[in-house]
Amino acid sequence: MSETTTKSVTVSAPDVLQITPLENAPFGARISLPAYAQDPADLNEDDFQRLYKAVHEYLVVVLPDLAELKPSSQYQLTKRFDPTCEGAYGHSKEFRHEKSVLRRDGHSTPAQPQVQILGQGRHDGHAGVRDLLLRHPTHMSFHHDPLSNDDMANGYTRFYRWHIDSALYGLAPPVVTTLLGIDCPVDKRQKIRYEDTGEEITTTKATTAFASGAIAFDNLSDEDKEFALNTTVVYAPHPYIFISPAKATSDGLTMVSEGKELPLDELPEWEQSKVKRLPLVWTNPVTGKHHMQVHGCCIWKLETPNGTLELEDARNTIHRLMRHNISPDHIYCHDWNQGDLVIFFNRGVWHSVTGQFEEGGHRLMHQCNIASDVDPVCKK
Ligand SMILES: [Fe+2]
């Protein structure tokens, strides 16, 4: 007869990364780090793979309470999402060109130049930078018909520019962007009015808005899906300089066509081999879903099954395909809390800055994305 012994076993919760889908949002998830990794750069391979999968499935994930995250950790985490990337920031040096529409967006952290400091107001000594003056990008300098002062005094703002983070010339689009809210006052509300439908949404001030490229594709008609799957977007050489004299539509989706773009022979030196030609639809490497991914402000031409559309027709077509996807029900607006690290699948969502700050307003964020070595592909 065998002897049986009974042991008392204490079962603790598994110390692994936890994923909780966001409620009342069309996509997105909240991540809890395992206890062993206060710094997400320290995740073990299994937990990093959970995070990698979550970013591709939920598209935007939020890791709270990381206000002290070091730029070196943010860089390492960002780079880990793309083994092909060599470590350069997602934009080339033209980012700072005097005519670029991006020139004022951010300042590199000295110790980790791929991490950009973004925000509003004067910040002296942050990350070792003396007397840093940050300017939050606002629609006033970018839209063709900005809001009136009365509208802004009444709390209205706009989607500044719906985009993917990418140089769109020479370099391949980054896989993810990481955005850290270090000092993000959330005491005020703002309103965005959709001027074509009259709809309005209310959000926290300077929310970051996201739209899913997968929802955009799924909601196209069968005919438009076929068109999108067989269309290539050609971006202008040095696109952010090319569009600098032009102004954007009031929804921030594309540019108004008035022939104001810089003539090609007035751009900095460029070469045809660096002009970006990307499919209009990018296939998610984890889910296999199709995402309609396009930077509507930077497009130059569309190569469609029915021939090439030049600038104005290309913009009109892209605007028609994109517009439905920024409707109130389809977007997720992130209400920033101090210490939120947002990681978004830059090859699967579009995003937009919103809001404008009053004199003396302040905000501080760190942003990182790294140019990939490989362009996204459409797997039909
Ligand atoms: Fe961005």
pLDDT tens, position by position, 199-220? 999 999 999 999 999 999 999 9
Q: How far apart are CA 12 and CA 261, in angstroms?
A: 62
pLDDT digits (tens, 9 = 90+) for 214-271: 999 999 999 999 999 999 999 999 999 999 999 999 999 999 999 999 999 999 999 9
Centre of ligand 1 from the C-alpha of residue 166, in Å: 8
Centre of ligand 1 from the C-alpha of residue 307, in Å: 31
Centre of ligand 1 from the C-alpha of residue 79, in Å: 17
Q: How far apart are CA 212 and CA 325, in angstroms?
A: 8
On whether the 26-369 domain is CATH 3.40.50.300, my answer is no
Centre of ligand 1 from the C-alpha of residue 353, in Å: 7
Global pTM? 0.94
Centre of ligand 1 from the C-alpha of residue 271, in Å: 25
Centre of ligand 1 from the C-alpha of residue 222, in Å: 30
Amino acid occupying residue 247: K
Centre of ligand 1 from the C-alpha of residue 19, in Å: 24
Contact 214, 288 (CB under 8 A): no
Centre of ligand 1 from the C-alpha of residue 264, in Å: 25
Nearest to 353 by CA among 151, 120, 133, 45: 120
Reading the chain (380 residues) residue by residue, the pLDDT tens digits are 344 444 555 555 569 999 999 999 999 999 999 999 999 999 999 999 999 999 999 999 999 999 999 999 999 999 999 989 876 677 766 666 777 776 666 788 988 999 999 999 999 889 989 889 999 999 999 999 999 999 999 999 999 999 999 999 999 999 999 999 999 987 789 999 999 999 999 999 999 999 999 999 999 999 999 999 999 999 999 999 999 999 999 999 999 999 999 999 999 999 999 999 999 999 999 999 999 999 999 999 999 999 999 999 999 999 999 999 999 999 999 999 999 999 999 999 999 999 999 888 999 999 999 999 999 999 98
Which of 198-217 are b and which e, b meaning 16 or more Cβ less than 10 Å from the residue's Cβ?
eeebebbbbbbbbbbbbbbb
Centre of ligand 1 from the C-alpha of residue 21, in Å: 23
Centre of ligand 1 from the C-alpha of residue 336, in Å: 15
